[in-house]
Structure 1
């Protein structure tokens, strides 16, 4: 296998919120679906691509067979290197300079847009140890000219396991203000989305929908 100069990722333009969300996602999901997913997480968290590193804190790629750690590390490195070169050709990364530890890269403007998309794709609600007994209702009236953004927002609510009370009214028992605000800012739909907190819920279908989840966090 050819030796490559280590690649270091340093981008001060990545927000602390996105870094922390990425770290949590990596911790909660030890297996990644693709090398690109691992690469983006590595770059967002300011990691390094090097054959000598064990990629601490970075989730492993899903494989069909168990292999030795040495071989697995080499295969991960090769996949990450190929993914890095492919994204670099697409102008996702830009070179900043060189140091004693290797070549330094950061995300380009195009790459930062990809980071925001990654942050939305991996966005998850924090599950409390114990439910506080309150309900969160998300209501929106997003204009037709923003139809594509509305569809993305609705799809993400569904992925986050919200219950759809009405076409533009969704419900969840767990706190979601930070996550909804993140989506509103990313999609630029803040004026059209409202979040309400309810002390009671009388909708039987909603209660039934969340029955198992609430039992786990009672």
Structure 2
């Protein structure tokens, strides 16, 4: 992705996500050498090439917002993510979270079960909303199903809302509502 100097929200968001991820991994560095045409960042499976001035602009914006700190070295500047930046990055990860929707189904259902106390009802409501957004099937108020492995993603969601100790993940090969689940996930084009 070659980012343009005039930012639009999706490009700016991707820029911030890439820089925050790079800083979180400790790999972001800004070179003071004007001859450097671009900054190359490798994050997960994505490779992004940014123009140096755009990268510098975004790093300064993230610094102004309190997401990153800059440390001068003899080779340039090191970008270090701060707690506020880590929280922002987790929020970006949460909004971009998706579950696998294709592939060969192993004929097992993944159940996500929770029993969250009433004094944490806001977190419980946020969790339900997120699970529905991720296309899990709501079997009962606190039981959701999905046909593909999603343990890691659901663990992240539970951790994000700080409710992991109230959740359980199970894989089952049969339920009384197999036909209903298959019909639902086929209609959603997940199966």
TM-score bracket for the superposition, by shorter chain length: 0.7 to 0.9
CA distance in 2, matches of 1:99, 1:183: 41
Aligned to 1:93: 68
CA distance in 2, matches of 1:37, 1:136: 31
Deviations 1:158-206 (A, max 9, x none): 2221111222211100011112222222322122111121112442432
CA distance in 2, matches of 1:39, 1:99: 25
1:71-150 matched pairs, under 5 angstroms: 77-78=53-54, 80-100=55-75, 102-126=76-100, 129-150=103-124
Is 1:158 matched up with 2:143? Answer: no
Aligned to 2:38: 53
Deviations 1:110-156 (A, max 9, x none): 11121222222222224563111100111112123223322332222
- TM-score of the pair, normalised by structure 2: 0.73
Give the conservation status (yes or no) of the 8 Å contact 2:19–2:59: no
- TM-score of the pair, normalised by structure 1: 0.65
Give the conservation status (yes or no) of the 8 Å contact 2:109–2:147: yes
Aligned to 2:142: 168
Q: Which has the higher strand share?
A: 2
Give the alignment partner of residue 35 of structure 1, picking from 12, 20, 26: 12
Deviation at 1:59, TM superposition (A): 5.5
RMSD: 2.7
Aligned to 1:7: none
Unmatched 5+ residue regions in structure 2? Answer: 1-8
CA distance in 2, matches of 1:118, 1:125: 16
In structure 2, relative to structure 1, the CA distance for the partners of 1:159 and 1:48 (3 Å cut) is: farther
